[in-house]
Structure 1
Amino acid sequence: MGVYKINVDGATLEIGRKSSIGVIIRDFKGEAATGLCRLLPGNFFVLETETLAVEAGILLAKDLGLQQIINESNSLLAIQSISAKEVSGETGHIIQGILSNLDCFSSWQIRHVKKDFNKVVHELALYAKCKEMSQVWEECSPTIVRHLIHHDCL
Structure 2
Amino acid sequence: MAKNSFEEFNDAATLDLFHPRTSHTHCWSPPPPGVFKINVDGSSSDIEESSSIGVIIRDCKGQIVAAFCKPLQSHYTAELVEVFALEQGIRLAQESQLSRVIFESDALTVINAVNDSAFGAPHGHIIQDISHAQTSFSFCSFRHLNRDFNLAAHELAQFARRNRSVHLWKGVTPSFLVPFVQADMLH
- TM-score normalised by the shorter chain: which range applies? over 0.9
1:33 matched to 2:34? The reply is no
Which residue is 1:145 aligned to? 177
Quick check: 114-123 or 86-95, which moved more? 86-95
**TM-score using structure 1 length:** 0.94
8 Å contact from structure 2 (residues 113, 121) kept in 1: no
CA displacement 1:13-48 (0-9 Å, x = unmatched): 225522100000000001110010111111111111
**Aligned residue for 1:54?**
86
State the match for 2:158 in structure 1: 126
For residue 144 of structure 1, report the CA deviation from its aligned partner.
1.5
Alignment partners' CA distance in 2, 1:142 and 1:7: 16
SS of the equivalent of 2:102 reads strand
Q: Which residue of 1 aligns with 2:125?
A: 93
Structure 1 unaligned segments of length 5 or more: list them.
none
Identity of aligned residues (%): 37
Q: Larger radius of gyration, structure 1 or 2?
A: 2
Is residue 142 of structure 2 the alignment partner of residue 110 of structure 1? yes
SS at match of 1:19: strand
Secondary structure of 1:42 counterpart: coil
TM-score, structure 2 as length reference: 0.78
Say yes or no: does 1:10 pair with 2:42: yes
Whichever residue aligns with residue 78 of structure 1, its letter is: V
State whether residues 15 and 43 of structure 1, in contact with CA within 8 Å, keep that contact through their aligned partners in structure 2: no
Aligned length: 154
Q: What's 1:80 paired with?
A: 112
RMSD: 1.3
